[in-house]
């Protein structure tokens, strides 16, 4: 899902997930947004564990920052333990220890969201769900998330190349295993996002000048990254309004208050018009 903050992106994501689950699919709707609202939209308690909320439908609020911070902490502890042993054995490895620590600190911005997305991507690959709907943070975060896999792969490869210097004299097995797994997951997510048969971006927008302009820019940016825009949802609108091209568009009527809960979202979705 993509869109400017405040356009109703999470509400649309939840409505789409509810409808997809009716089609005998196993569906997961997950947010990587640091300011989550999936629980509000669904009217249910949703945390950082996958929870069943209806037949065929699960939800999760991924705490991306906490998950990546935990990985960083474990990495730092293992690096320190290995280099403490090396220095105690007479090796001069102070410089490389600092480089490895600096590489950890210089992880690309947005890598925490990517870390969460990579874990979700592995869940998809395992076949646990037929469809995963990801509700990331608004526009700037989405673009950063889509750009991060290339940066993250370069970052992880740098760490692994330096660690290989010590593979014969120090046990980096567990630490490098984590980094290698992350790199493999990241590559899989990158390939998944770039495959129009398996992945698409759905944009949510409003008929307001600033929002329309941002949606147009986002459409171009997503295409430039090699991804496909599968649909544009005009929220709080009676008629679809063109943003150019042949992208399918839908109008979702305004409701006050905003639909909340499974049945309200289901009824609201049924009022959308192509």
Q: Say whether pLDDT at 231 is over 90.
A: yes
DSSP letter assigned to residue 22: T
Write down all domains in the chain, each with its CATH number in brackets.
Answer: 9-67+105-269 (3.40.50.300)
Show the tokens assigned to 56. Answer: 């065929």
Q: Residue 134's closest CA among 6, 10, 60, 31?
A: 31
Long-range contacts from 78-83, C-beta under 8 angstroms, 24+ separation: 78/172, 78/174, 78/175, 79/104, 79/175, 82/166, 82/170, 82/171, 82/172, 82/175, 83/170
Show the tokens assigned to 273. Answer: 């018009």
C-alpha 20/C-alpha 98 separation (Å) is 49
Q: Residue 32's closest CA among 93, 163, 120?
A: 120
User: In which band, very low, low, confident or very high, does the pLDDT at 139 lie, cut at 50, 70 and 90?
Assistant: low
Residues 6+ apart with CB under 8 A from 38: 10, 13, 14, 29, 30, 31, 46, 59, 61, 135
| Higher-pLDDT residue of 252, 147 | 252
Task: Please report the pLDDT score of residue 180 as a whole number.
Answer: 75
Residues 6+ apart with CB under 8 A from 161: none
Dihedral (CA of 48, 51, 53, 59) sign = positive
Q: Which residues pair with 58 in a beta bridge?
A: 28, 52
Structural contact between residues 163 and 176, judged by C-beta atoms closer than 8 angstroms: yes
Task: Give per-residue pLDDT as tens, 205-216.
Answer: 999 989 988 888
Quote the mean pLDDT of the chain.
80
Average pLDDT estimate for 179-201: 83
| Higher-pLDDT residue of 52, 75 | 52
Give the best-scoring range by mean pLDDT among 67-81, 105-119, 224-238.
224-238
Element housing 75 (H / E): helix 64-88
Task: Please report the pLDDT score of residue 185 as a whole number.
Answer: 78
User: In which band, very low, low, confident or very high, does the pLDDT at 80 lie, cut at 50, 70 and 90?
Assistant: confident
Q: Say whether pLDDT at 169 is over 50.
A: no
C-alpha 186/C-alpha 114 separation (Å) is 7
**CB count in 10 Å sphere of residue 56:** 19
Average pLDDT estimate for 38-50: 88
**CB count in 10 Å sphere of residue 162:** 15
């Amino acid at each position: 899902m993509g869109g400017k903050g405040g356009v109703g992106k999470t509400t649309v994501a939840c409505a789409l997930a509810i409808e997809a689950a009716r089609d005998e699919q196993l569906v997961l709707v997950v947010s990587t947004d640091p300011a989550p609202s999936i629980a509000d939209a669904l009217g249910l308690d949703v945390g950082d564990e996958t929870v069943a909320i209806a037949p065929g439908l699960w939800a999760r609020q991924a705490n991306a920052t906490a998950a990546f911070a935990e990985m960083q902490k474990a990495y730092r502890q293992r690096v320190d333990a290995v280099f403490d042993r090396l220095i105690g054995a007479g090796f001069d490895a102070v410089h490389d220890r600092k480089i490895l620590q600096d590489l950890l600190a210089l992880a690309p911005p947005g890598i925490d969201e990517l870390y969460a997305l990579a874990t979700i991507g592995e869940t998809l690959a395992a076949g646990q769900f037929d469809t995963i709907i990801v509700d990331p943070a608004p526009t700037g975060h989405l673009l950063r998330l889509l750009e991060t896999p290339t940066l993250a792969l370069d970052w992880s490869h740098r760490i692994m190349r330096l660690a290989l210097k010590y593979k014969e004299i120090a046990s980096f097995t567990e630490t490098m295993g984590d980094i290698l797994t992350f790199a493999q997951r990241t590559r899989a997510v990158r390939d998944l996002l770039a495959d129009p048969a398996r992945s698409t971006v759905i944009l949510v927008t409003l008929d307001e000048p600033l929002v329309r302009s941002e949606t147009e820019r986002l459409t171009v940016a997503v295409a430039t990254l090699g991804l496909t825009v599968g649909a544009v949802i005009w929220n709080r609108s009676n008629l679809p309004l063109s943003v150019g091209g042949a992208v399918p568009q839908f109008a979702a009527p305004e409701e006050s208050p905003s639909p909340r809960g499974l049945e309200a979202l289901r009824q609201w979705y049924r009022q959308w018009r192509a």
